[in-house]
C-alpha cells in the first residue's frame, strides 16, 4: 500500500492496518497457550476426557455459524465431515494431549509448526502439487529439526515419543488441510469447523466416558479445559477465519511462526518449564524451514 492509497482510505481501513498485526499476535498467543492448558489439565483428565471437553466446547461456540448455513450441509455430507473431523481434529488433539503428559508444553508447540511442511508434502505425494527444490530443502531442514528435538531430554527423561506424537498430529493436520481444500471448498469455513468439531466430539465420546477420571479434578484443570475449548478452539477459529477474510490465507499463515514462540514463553513464564538448548536449536530449524517454505511458495 502506497502513501496515496493509505491517505485516501477511510478511517476503518486505517484502523484495520494496525489492527491486523495485533490480531495475528493475539491469535498466536491464544494457540500457544493451548499447549499450556493441555499440560496443566492432561494428567487430571486423561487425553480422551480432555479432548472431549475441548471438542464439545469448541463446537458449541461455533454452532451459530453452522446453524446459519445448515441448508448447505445435507445428510449425505456428514460421513465425509466425520472422517475429516477425525483426521483433522479428534486424533491430533488426542496425540497432543498425550504428548502434554510426557513432555514440556513447548515441545508440542514446536512440533505443531511442522503442519505447514506436512501440508506441502501431502499435497505433493497424493494430490499432484508441485513442491520444488526450495521447498524440498525446507522439508529436509524441518525433519532435521524434528530429529534434534526428539533426541533431547528434560529432567533426564527422553521426550522422543512425545515428539513423535506431536509430529504425527501435525502430519494428520497436513492431510486434513488438503482434504478440506478439495472436498469442502465452497462451504462457510466456520460452519465446517463447527461440523467437524461436533462430529469429532461424538467420535471421542465413548472413549471419554470409558476413561473419565475417577478422582475429583482440581478447579485449575477444569478452568484449563474450559479455556482450551472455548478460547483456544472456538473463539480462535472465529478469529482465524475472520483474518483469512480480511488479509487472505497466505498472510494469516504467518501465525504459524508465533505459536511455538508463545507456547514456549507461556510454559516458561507460568509453569517454569525449561528451554533447553535442544529445543532452541530444533525450534530454529523448524521455524526457519517453515519460513523458507512459505517464501518458496510465494
Question: What pLDDT, in 10s, does the model give residues 45-97?
Answer: 999 999 999 999 999 999 999 999 999 999 999 999 999 999 999 999 999 99
Question: Could you tell me the CA-to-CA distances from 118 to 15, 102, 289 in Å, in that order?
Answer: 35, 23, 12
In degrees and rounded to multiples of 5, residue 211 shows phi and psi of -115, 20
Q: What is the pLDDT of residue 156?
A: 55
Q: How far apart are the first and last CA of the chain?
A: 18
Q: What is the pLDDT of residue 38?
A: 98
Do residues 169 and 111 lie in contact, with contact meaning Cβ atoms separated by under 8 Å? yes
Q: Using alpha carbons, select from 188, 190, 200, 189 the residue that is nearest to residue 78.
A: 200
Do residues 65 and 4 lie in contact, with contact meaning Cβ atoms separated by under 8 Å? no
Do you know the residue count of the chain?
298
Q: What is the pLDDT of residue 11?
A: 43
Q: Give the chain's residues under pLDDT 70.
A: 1-18, 154-157, 250, 294-298
Question: What pLDDT, in 10s, does the model give residues 224-254?
Answer: 999 999 999 999 999 998 888 787 776 787 7
Q: What is the pLDDT of residue 130?
A: 82
Q: What is the pLDDT of residue 3?
A: 36
Burial of 160 (0-12, 13-18, 19+ CB in 10 A): middle
Q: What is the pLDDT of residue 296?
A: 54
Amino acid at each position: 500500500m502506497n502513501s496515496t492509497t493509505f491517505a485516501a482510505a477511510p478511517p476503518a481501513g486505517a484502523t484495520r492496518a494496525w489492527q491486523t498485526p495485533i490480531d495475528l499476535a493475539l491469535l498466536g498467543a491464544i494457540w500457544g497457550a493451548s499447549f499450556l492448558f493441555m499440560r496443566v489439565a492432561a494428567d487430571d483428565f486423561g487425553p480422551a476426557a480432555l479432548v472431549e471437553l475441548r471438542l464439545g466446547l469448541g463446537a458449541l461456540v461455533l454452532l451459530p455459524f453452522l446453524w446459519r448455513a445448515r441448508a448447505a450441509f445435507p445428510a449425505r455430507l456428514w460421513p465425509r465431515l466425520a472422517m475429516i473431523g477425525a483426521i483433522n481434529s479428534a486424533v491430533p488433539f488426542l496425540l497432543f494431549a498425550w504428548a502434554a503428559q510426557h513432555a514440556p508444553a513447548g515441545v508440542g508447540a514446536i512440533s505443531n509448526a511442522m503442519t505447514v511442511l506436512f501440508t506441502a508434502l501431502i499435497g505433493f505425494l497424493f494430490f499432484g502439487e508441485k513442491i520444488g527444490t526450495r521447498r524440498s530443502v525446507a522439508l529436509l531442514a524441518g525433519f532435521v529439526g524434528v530429529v534434534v528435538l526428539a533426541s533431547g531430554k528434560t529432567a533426564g527423561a527422553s521426550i522422543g515419543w512425545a515428539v513423535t506424537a506431536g509430529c504425527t498430529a501435525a502430519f494428520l493436520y497436513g492431510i486434513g488441510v488438503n482434504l478440506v481444500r478439495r472436498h469442502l471448498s465452497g462451504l462457510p469455513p466456520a460452519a465446517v469447523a463447527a461440523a467437524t468439531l461436533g462430529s469429532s466430539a461424538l467420535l471421542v465420546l465413548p472413549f471419554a466416558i470409558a476413561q473419565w477420571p475417577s478422582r475429583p479434578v482440581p478447579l485449575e484443570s477444569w478452568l484449563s479445559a474450559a479455556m482450551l475449548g472455548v478460547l483456544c478452539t472456538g473463539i480462535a477459529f472465529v478469529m482465524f477465519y475472520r483474518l483469512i477474510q480480511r488479509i487472505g490465507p497466505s498472510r494469516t499463515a504467518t501465525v504459524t511462526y508465533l505459536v511455538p514462540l508463545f507456547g514456549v514463553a507461556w510454559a516458561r513464564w507460568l509453569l517454569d518449564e525449561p528451554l533447553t538448548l535442544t529445543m532452541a536449536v530444533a525450534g530454529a530449524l523448524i521455524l526457519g524451514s517453515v519460513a523458507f517454505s512459505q517464501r518458496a511458495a510465494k
